[in-house]
Amino acid sequence: MSAIIIDGKKISEEIREEIKKEVEELKAKYGIIPGLATILVGENPASVSYVKAKQKVAQNLGFYSVQENLPENISQEELIAIIKKYNNEEKIHGILVQLPLPKHIDEEEVINAILPDKDVDGFHPVNLGRLLRGNPSFIPCTPYGIMVMLEKIGCDVEGKEVVIVGRSNIVGKPLAVLLFQKRKPIGNATVTICHTKTKDLAFHTKRADILIVAIGKPKFIKADMVKEGAVVIDVGVNRIGISPSGKAILCGDVDFDEVKKKASAITPVPGGVGPMTITMLMKNTLQSAKRFVSQKKNP
Ligand code: GUN
């Protein structure tokens, strides 16, 4: 069997076209342009390239976008002061602080400083709490992108065994909640989360109808760890070298060439989950701008 390759780039482009149209409508009807502020601290190469990509897409979609490049040694107080400035700026509907942050900065404190109504990453405790209760405001972008991908390929999740490898606040935890939630079309799954202390990881991964991997270990999941016909979603983006033209060579957490022979569908890296994450950030920012419009009309 050879798997369907889930084309995250193509699905993203379709959604971006819809967003672009909505942006034009919002502008024409209400004179509102969705505004996104991205905040980068330091020069971590992966973070630099992610933020650059997010800014580029925001601009292509007609958003108002602002980029803050802050030095590695910025103090927590200074960083929080910048966040508060954007909390109060009417033209900004979404604030994204790229993670990870340098060690001297408390990530929790920084996330807590973002106004929940502008937290387009969905990382603020208020937004995570709403997600847990089944009434989300902003769905974290990577889990959101995975949900949309599963929906687009017509994957029937209900009652299925989903195994998520990785328990991060950004991917594993929120994704588990979304997939077991009483929710259609993507929900009602039986979800297992595996992590570094899981005994016999392969026992769990081999049971998965849908296997989602977010651990940051290049080609870690091999074919003998995957059930025949499984849907495999690879969230990993690992930099394994530099090409002669100076570009990073990327691979996922799944051994794509091996596993694609066994899976029924699989996401590639690059071109799978990555573009979806950026697209859902734009969707959340648009949603935030629309909410500001409705609040203005009905204060
Ligand atoms: N670092 C890795 N993924 C993400 C993300 O989705 N949002 C932010 N802010 N930082 C990240």
**What pLDDT shows up at residue 295?**
86
- Structure confidence at residue 215 (pLDDT): 98
Task: Kindly indicate the confidence band of residue 58, based on its pLDDT and cuts at 50, 70 and 90.
Answer: very high
Locate 195 and state its tokens: 């992590």
Ligand 1 probe mutation, 55, 67, 121, most atoms within 8 A of CB: 121
Quote the mean pLDDT of the chain: 97
Taking residues 195-205, what's their average pLDDT?
Answer: 98
Q: If you average pLDDT over residues 197-226, what whole number do you get? A: 98
Strands 238-242 and 248-251: antiparallel
Kindly list the protein residues whose Cβ atom lies closer than 6 A to any atom of ligand 1.
96-99, 121, 141-142, 170, 277
| Burial grade of 224 (CB within 10 A; 0-12, 13-18, 19 or more) | exposed
Per-residue model confidence as pLDDT tens digits over 238-254: 999 999 998 999 999 99
Tens of pLDDT, residues 92-111 = 999 999 999 999 999 999 99
Ligand 1 atom with the shortest distance to the CA of 121: 7
Protein residue closest via CA to atom 8 of ligand 1: 98
Torsion of CA 89, 94, 100, 105, to 10 degrees: 30
Is pLDDT of 4 > 90?
yes
Chain segment 216-234, per-residue pLDDT in tens: 999 999 999 999 999 999 9
> Other CB atoms closer than 10 Å to residue 16's CB: what's the count?
18
Does residue 247 or residue 129 have the better pLDDT?
129
Residue whose CA is at the smallest distance from ligand 1 atom 11: 99
By annotation, the residues acting in catalysis are 54, 98, 121
Best of 51, 97, 120, 170 for a ligand 1 pocket test (most atoms within 8 Å of beta carbon): 170
Burial class of residue 188 (count of CB atoms within 10 Å of its CB; 0-12, 13-18, 19+): middle
Structure token pair of residue 272 = 């799978």
**For residue 141, which atom of ligand 1 is closest to its CA?**
6
End-to-end alpha-carbon separation of the chain, Å?
57
Atom nearest to 140 CA in ligand 1:
6
For residue 298, the model assigns a pLDDT of: 78
pLDDT in tens, 148-180: 999 999 999 999 999 999 999 999 999 999 999
What pLDDT score was predicted for residue 259?
Answer: 98
Amino acid 291: pLDDT: 95
The confidence score (pLDDT) of residue 2 equals 84
Q: How does pLDDT run across 259-276, given as a tens digit for each residue?
A: 999 999 999 999 999 999
For ligand 1, atom 9, name the residue with the nearest CA. 98
Confidence of residue 1 (pLDDT cuts 50, 70, 90): low
